[in-house]
């Protein structure tokens, strides 16, 4: 299972966030527990959307201008390559967010996980696929994801990394 | 991003565990939060090893018979395909565990996530790669993973699912 | 800070639940992290209500028979006395639930936390106060908590433990 | 259960920290889940000690100058009064830390939980009691907690709030 993955630097990512870690994030070996990375992905992805668009996870139909806006993102796939150990608490973690594929209703994000010196390459690489569906019906809409969200995600598009 | 993944049934998996869910596992849409699945994978994998071998995460060098036994599993990759919504709390979740690749120092697990009627196919499919390293040096050992763990993991081997 | 708290046994509690633990629940000392106990309290309290009444956390006003039923429980106070170390993962934990005070809109629960031999006394004692409010207004209702929930909670009433 | 607790302001607390919230911290009502507060207490308490002293949770006996330094803090009690709803993710939370009692081996912390405008009073009040014990024996030491930690905690002492 040899692997020499390409390790991007923070400047690959159009959107950044710093997140604090918690004592309870560390496992018995004092590393950041592997499941916590996914809490970070969820955080940066939703934070980005809430900051850049009118979307929020508690939308009510009466509050949106059109049915197109009344959608939520369902997670259909997620993955992580853990490239280097992250010390975790009490050190904070820096995240970079990019879009590597933007479909009609779905988006594939790439998240770079960094710690410490920002010139160092990513210590982990995450991927996260959201599919937008109508909040009531749970089905994709004929016109695809909310227009406002598509415009916002389009600004994060980068070239996908070479396949391993 | 069309996908028609093969959805295995619980009898594919040589080892099963039932885990309880928590109110805090549910997200604002009342679904099991996507990061919680990874807590479940960690739980069934470690539970299996602790039940079937003398290994435990708090091993001290003086307590093991040989340096070969003084290793820990580092997570090098993990992923999930979320195939169907899982209601989460208060319903429990049933997990199935199998090994799809057994290398010298590393193992790839597949985890099927089930809920409710056990004749139904998996609602999610997880993959998890552990690489065994010496607890002190953090490096793989020339002879590979602990012999006792290899023997135990060999009993979980199944054919990998067809690639999508 | 000497303390000799009274340590009740499981038979004090009218309602029991067994919950599984997760690898990520253990802290660096291999104990159950102190915050996880509160996830357990939330779980047993909500599980009990969802099992015994028609209440659920995703109620919509149109789905309930009366405004009285359209309420949620807000946590106003919680506490734990950690009386003995709990090993945590992979061992499960047994919880006992009782009501020590039932007001018009609020309820005080006591939760006993047990592990292993069920004749042993509680390893931790939790307290949890819920105040019921209208889901839309966030205020208590003149008639108090939902009648169905009051009837259900009344069956859990026990004498409070002697004050320390 | 009427309560009019005194609600301190951030300047009561000698030590402050800002922590980020996560999407998974929010419950189905979009509030910060009640158990997450305790993850925050753990974080600020341990962060303060690791920043101000040579202590860290992974101490090994051979690494410390004296047995006095080879101790860890066991949580013996914790509690929260939830005074006002906290919105949670994506808003960060500001914490204030003080010591309200400093015994020979134990310390009682008070944590104020704030959000948004820093001139507003605490939205929650936490209490957390740590008892220091020898890491190997699990027992308090005759001379009490590590001297370095006592000196550091003494700088956080404030008057306890009036009892309710």
b vs e for D98-133, b when ≥16 Cβ sit within 10 Å of the residue's Cβ?
A: bbbebbebbbbbbbbbbbeeeeebbbbbbbbbbbbb
Chain D interface, Cβ < 8 Å to C? 1, 3, 27-29, 33-36, 38-39, 42, 57-58, 72, 74-82, 85, 101, 103, 106, 108, 129, 131, 138
Q: What is the pLDDT of residues A66-125, one digit of tens each?
A: 889 999 999 999 999 999 999 889 999 999 999 999 999 999 999 999 999 989 999 999
Q: What is the pLDDT of residue A1?
A: 44
CA distance A42 to chain D (A): 6
D111 band by pLDDT with thresholds 50, 70 and 90: very high
Which other chains touch chain C, taking contact as 3+ CB pairs less than 8 Å apart?
A, B, D
Q: Select the residue from C24, C33, C35, C60 to test the A interface by mutation, using most A Cβ atoms within 10 A.
A: C24
Enter the pTM of the model.
0.93
Structure tokens at D52: 């101000």
Residues of B in contact with D23 (CB under 8 A): 27, 33
State the pLDDT at residue C146. Answer: 96
Work out the minimum CA distance from B14 to partner chain A, whole angstroms. 24
Question: Could you tell me the pLDDT band of residue A2, with boundaries at 50, 70 and 90?
Answer: very low
Tokens of residue C145, six digits:
């908590």
Confidence of residue D2 (pLDDT cuts 50, 70, 90): very low
Looking at per-residue confidence, does D13 or D27 come out higher? D13
**∠ CA(B97), CA(B99), CA(B100), 5° rounding?**
125
CA C50 to chain CA centroid, nearest Å: 13
pLDDT at D76: 96
Q: What is the pLDDT of residues C5-36, one digit of tens each?
A: 679 999 999 999 999 999 999 988 888 999 99
Segment A110-160, tens digit of pLDDT:
999 999 998 999 999 999 999 999 998 999 999 999 999 999 999 999 999
Could you tell me which chain B residue has the CA closest to the CA of C18?
B20
The three-class DSSP label of residue D116 is coil
Residue C3 pLDDT: 53
Number of Cβ atoms within 10 Å of the Cβ of B2: 4
Contact C145, C71 (CB under 8 A): yes
Residues on chain A bordering chain C, Cβ-to-Cβ distance under 8 angstroms: 23-24, 26-28, 30, 33, 35-36
Q: How many other CB atoms sit within 10 Å of the CB of residue A28?
A: 20
Specify the pLDDT at position C164. Answer: 54
Three-state secondary structure call for residue C38: helix
Please give the torsion angle defined by the CA atoms of residues C112, C114, C118 and C119, in that order, rounded to the nearest 10 degrees.
-70
CB pairs under 8 A between A and D: 57
Question: Which residues of D are less than 8 Å from B26 in CB distance?
Answer: 27-28
Q: At a CB cut-off of 8 Å and minimum separation 6, what does D50 contact?
A: A90, D56
Q: How much is the pLDDT for C1?
A: 44
- Cβ distance A19 to D23 less than 8 Å, yes or no, reads no
Say how many CB pairs under 8 Å bridge B and C. Answer: 57
Q: How far is B76 from chain A (nearest CA, A)?
A: 5
Q: What is the dihedral of CA D93, B42, C87, B154, to 10 degrees?
A: -170
Residues forming a β-bridge with D102: D107
Report the gap between the CA of A72 and the closest CA in chain C (Å): 17
- Closest by alpha carbon to B40, among B98, B113, B110? B113
Read off the pLDDT of each residue in C135-162 and give the average, rounded to a whole number. Answer: 95
Subunit contact C76:D76, Cβ cutoff 8 A: no
The pLDDT, as a whole number, for residue A27 is 85
| Tens-level pLDDT at each residue, chain B (164 residues) | 445 667 999 999 999 999 999 999 998 888 899 999 999 999 999 999 999 999 988 888 888 888 899 999 999 999 999 999 998 899 999 999 999 999 999 999 999 999 999 899 999 999 999 999 999 899 999 999 999 999 999 999 999 998 75
Burial class (CB in 10 A: 0-12, 13-18, 19+), C154: exposed
CB contact (8 A) between residue C24 and residue A35? yes
Residues of D in contact with C76 (CB under 8 A): 1, 3, 81-82
- pLDDT score of B162: 84
- Name every chain A residue with its beta carbon within 8 A of the beta carbon of D47: 89-90
Which has more confidence, B67 or A17? A17
Closest by Cα among B144, B137, B60 to B107: B144
Q: Find all residues with CB under 8 Å of B127, minimum gap 6, and list them.
A: B77, B78, B79, B80, B100, B108, B109, B110, B111
Provide mean pLDDT across the span C38-56.
Answer: 95
Two tokens, residue D6:
């005194």
Q: What is the mean pLDDT of residues D40-67?
A: 90
pLDDT confidence of residue B1: 45
Order the strands of the C124-134 sheet from edge to edge: C15-19, C93-102, C106-114, C124-134, C71-82, D71-82, D124-134, D106-114, D93-102, D15-19
**CB-based contacts of C60: which residues, under 8 Å, 6+ apart?**
none
Residue with tokens 């402050």: D16
The residues near C2 (Cβ < 8 Å, ≥ 6 apart) are none
Helix (H), strand (E) at residue A42: helix A36-52
């Amino acid at each position: 299972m040899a692997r020499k993955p390409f390790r991007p630097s923070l400047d690959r990512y159009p959107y950044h966030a710093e997140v604090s870690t918690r004592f309870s994030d560390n496992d018995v070996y004092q590393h950041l527990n592997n499941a916590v990375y996914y809490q970070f992905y969820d955080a940066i992805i939703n934070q980005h959307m809430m900051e850049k668009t009118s979307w929020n996870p508690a939308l009510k139909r009466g509050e949106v201008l059109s049915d197109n806006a009344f959608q939520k993102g369902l997670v259909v796939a997620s993955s992580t390559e853990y490239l280097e150990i992250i010390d975790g608490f009490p050190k904070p973690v820096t995240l970079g967010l990019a879009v590597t594929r933007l479909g009609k209703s779905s988006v594939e994000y790439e998240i770079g996980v960094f710690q410490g010196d920002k010139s160092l390459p990513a210590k982990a690489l995450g991927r996260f696929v959201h599919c937008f569906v109508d909040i009531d019906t749970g089905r994709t809409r004929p016109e695809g994801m909310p227009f406002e969200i598509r415009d916002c995600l389009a600004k994060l598009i980068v070239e996908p990394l070479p396949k391993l």
